[in-house]
Amino acid sequence: MHLFKKATIAVMTAAALMSAQQASAKTVEVTMTAKEVELAVNNKGDVTMAAWTFDGSIPGKPVRVEEGDIVDFTLINPAENKNSHAMDFHAAQVDVLNEFGEVKPGQSKHFKFEAKVPGVFMYHCGAGPMVQHIAKGMYGMIIVEPKDKKNYPKADREYVLIQQQYFPNTENVPALLENAEWKGSLINGKLFHYDPVHEPNATQVLEAKPGERVRIFFVNANINNPVALHPIAGIWDRVYINGNPKNTLYGIQTYNVAVAEGSTFDIVSPADRATNVAIVDHAMGAALRGAITVLMNKPDADPKKGRGEQILIK
């Protein structure tokens, strides 16, 4: 009888936990519109690209949900577009031929998926030729926040960084496949986006106060090249592989991010002085052609940066 009672209590406890988890999960509606537009890829604005985008920007907007949430997604492809487009969420476990199928101009697609695995994931257009759609700017990030945060200290500030190879001629698909003719690296859509040291027209940097924990959500949207992500004048306090706290490395100088991989990086600056850190792709051909981001740690850091909508600085 005693064993029966214990078993009954265990079952009831498990049921209560499942019910609580289901109650905490929510449905997050996300709608994006494919837009084929001309966009500047440098800070001065005189170098442009015939871009294919989600909602008219490179990268697309960050999507942020909790582990277990339902993502209710709609992709709209307006009739004025000339190309079919699609959506491939790396955080989704669905049918590549169904949910990720192409959407012709004048049509839309709607699907749902449960964000079952925590982490930082790329999303991108999956229409063919896929290499061209990504190279033209159809990508972004989805962050799935973990339920279990015991190995995931709260960050003081958070930033989204997405790196992409820049090809001036994205119509030459064979060259894209051969990794030929790429001329630079875009960070959140621009060359040297946050680097006033090498680019006098750069007006934005990442900011934090000395001693704050800064969390970088990073996606490698290059079509061919890995990224050797390194903080010059700093050390990654923690690297969460794929953005999942269950996969944590400590005290890392450089971490190699594969093509189409996302990971999370924590850095904590010295608390007793103002410092600057340059977050770079240590592959010099990428760094010195655009893949440098300056993080300024100073007492008068902008309180809005790295919080709310300003996790992606435009």
Confidence of residue 173 (pLDDT cuts 50, 70, 90): very high
Q: How many angstroms separate the CA atoms of 232 and 287, rounded?
A: 12
List pLDDT tens digits, range 61-76: 999 999 999 999 999 9
Rounded distance between C-alpha atoms, residue 132 and residue 129, angstroms: 6
Residue 20 in this model has a pLDDT that exceeds 50: no
Q: Can you give the pLDDT at residue 23?
A: 53
What's residue 193's pLDDT?
Answer: 98
Looking at the chain, the whole-number percentage of residues with pLDDT higher than 70 is: 93
Closest among 122, 62, 73, 78 to 99, alpha carbons compared: 73
pLDDT(22) > 70: no
145-171 per-position pLDDT tens digit = 999 999 999 999 999 999 999 999 999
Instruction: Report the pLDDT value the prediction gives residue 4, as an integer from 0 to 100.
Output: 45
Average model confidence (pLDDT) for the chain?
Answer: 94
pLDDT of residue 3: 47
The better pLDDT of the pair 304, 6 is held by: 304
In the chain, what are the domains?
A: 25-145 (2.60.40.420), 157-311 (2.60.40.420)
Q: Residues 211-260: pLDDT tens digits?
A: 999 999 999 999 999 999 999 999 999 999 999 999 999 999 999 999 99
- Residue length of the chain: 314
- State yes or no: cis peptide before 129, omega within 30 of 0: yes
Per-residue pLDDT of 254-301, as tens digits, reads 999 999 999 999 999 999 999 999 999 999 999 999 999 999 999 999
Q: What is the average pLDDT across 91-118?
A: 98
pLDDT of residue 7: 46
What is the model's pLDDT at position 251? Answer: 98
pLDDT average, residue stretch 175-179? 98
Rounded to whole angstroms, the Cα distance separating 206 from 215 reads: 11
